[in-house]
Every structure is written in structure tokens, then in C-alpha cells.
Amino acid sequence: MKLSEIKSKLKALDTIAFQLPNGTLVPRHFHVTEVGKITKDFIDCGGTVRHEAVVNFQLWEANDYDHRLHPEKLLKIIELSQNILDIDDLEIEVEYQGDTIGKYNLDFDGNNFLLTTKQTNCLAKDNCGIPTEKPRIRLSDLQKKSACCEPSSGCC
């Protein structure tokens, strides 16, 4: 989800809820402790220099059980961050504390913001010799090449 999308959705909501990948909701007394821009400059395993930038939201919960973040307040925090940090309409990454800090993508189901899992990936599959799709092999070709189990093959 991009920043423009969450801003649009926040304008139509009365309350905010974030749902973890396992279906449980982040406790209602969460805080958004950070809205920022994270940039990452790196070289992939194929030697290509890459640059990534995301908007980062950090969700945190404390013992402040009476706290409720309202959509208009989060919208103001986002707009302030955009203006001061010169943040473009980037994809959003959400950090949330589990056993360790988890990083999630963000989606929306019409009611809740969904924290969706992120996966690692090889960005240079063509340079590493990793096929982009599983090779297809005909069983008839395998049977022609392998005669080890024929009665006269001597394998038994």
C-alpha cells in the first residue's frame, strides 16, 4: 500500500485497527511512534547497485490502555512527516514488536489495515543461475533415458 492510499482510507474511517497475519488485532491502545522514510542502498548478489525507499510506520503498545489513535490524528502525523521529511508517495512498511521487531507490508480489507508478511528474494536470479520457473520434464523422456530397472539391465 502506498502512502496516498492509506491517507485516502483514513479519511473514510472512524477507528483504526491493524490485523496481524495470524488474524489477531494489534491491541486498540497502540501508538504509531514513528512515521519516517527509510532508504537502503545495497549491491545484490549479481553485483547490481540498488536503491530502495519506503515509508515506515512503527506500531507500539504500552500500558496506556485508555489511548486510542484516531484516523484524523494519524493523518496529521503522516502529513507532517511528508512535509518535514520530504516523503514521496512510497510503499509503506510497518514495524511491530513480536518476539523481535517484525516488518510487514500493508493492505486493507475494507475494515482493518492488514499487516502482511514480507519475504526475502534473490534480485539477481539471472546472474545466479536460478531458474525463474521450474523446468518441465516429460515422464516419457525420463523413462527413455533410464533403463536401470528393466529386467535385463542388471541393476537388481
By the 8 A CB rule, do 50 and 42 touch? yes
Alpha-carbon gap, residue 76 to 101, rounded angstroms:
25
Strand-by-strand arrangement of the 101-108 sheet: 18-19, 113-117, 101-108, 92-97, 49-61, 30-43
In the numeric block, which cell numbers belong to residue 81?
Answer: 512527516
Closest CA to 89 of 11, 4, 6, 10: 4
Instruction: Tell me phi and psi for residue 45, to 5 degrees.
Output: -70, -10
Q: What is the pLDDT along the chain (156 residues), one digit of tens a residue?
A: 999 999 999 999 999 999 999 999 999 999 999 999 999 999 999 899 999 999 999 999 878 888 789 999 999 999 999 999 999 999 999 999 988 999 999 999 999 999 999 999 888 888 877 776 766 777 766 665 555 566 666 555
Determine the pLDDT at residue 99: 84
pTM over 0.75: yes
- CA-to-CA separations, 147 to 17, 90, 140, 151, 152, in angstroms, rounded: 62, 57, 12, 9, 9
